[in-house]
Structure 1
Amino acid sequence: MHLSLLRTTVVALVLALSPAALAAEGAPLELTPAEGLTYWTPAPGTFTPRTMADPERVAFADEVTLAYTITARGRTTNVQVIDATPAGAHTGWAVSAIKAMRFEPTARNAARTPIRSQITSRWDGPAPK
């Protein structure tokens, strides 16, 4: 009887400490943009994203939807382009902008829980000629 209980306990511990279980535990919460703002708010101040292309020479996307993760330190990682209008246009300006942003946890997020969310950005700089 005790040996059976011991085996069950060992199996439970192995499963609980497996890499898959540990990875799932540290995964960011998947939240809508509105839900994300209840966990993190953009830090005040200015930031200067790098733009590697000239909008006068390269067709910039008018609108870009990005997925991103906010880490426990309030930084963005794993930035991915989900959609761009027009398709195939330059999206680097939007990726640079979200990578340059910093966030502060809200009172609700004192534990600094990482999240994954999306944002849609619109280019309102000079139009390509």
Structure 2
Amino acid sequence: MSSRPAPQIGFSFEYLMWIFTRLSGCALYLLALVGFVSALVMGARTQMGVGDLMRWTFFPNSYHVVNTNVPDVDPGWMNAYWNTIQMLVIFFAITHGMNGLRVVIEDYVRRPWLRIFLRGLVFLLWLFMLIVATYVILTI
């Protein structure tokens, strides 16, 4: 296995995705912290256990906390703030993971036609997962 050269500075796709991977990793940590602190501020410190709080931190979905002491848990109380947090987590997580899969394909697949096919498949999978996740978030 030969290693790929580091991306050159400039506005090439490889360099931008290299930067995106670093920034999206930091964004995921920041979103987890924002979700955690927001849940605590909104009353989770007295109404949830640690496990419920962790589920809520990453995917603030009312169905995750049905068995807790949170009063009036129903799907109608989700607001734009939590939907935005969910959409950002989903976007960064899916794109970060699919970019990692793309890099693995670039590193290990030698046949150019197979590499192009797999890159297209990864793109379609990325698009499908974003559409399904968006549908689920906005309809719950």
Name the structure with the higher helix share.
2
Instruction: State which structure, 1 or 2, has the greater radius of gyration over its C-alpha atoms.
Output: 1
TM-score, length-normalised on structure 2? 0.26
Name the structure with the higher strand share.
1
Q: Which has the higher contact order (CA 8 A, sep 6+)?
A: 1
TM-score, length-normalised on structure 1? 0.28
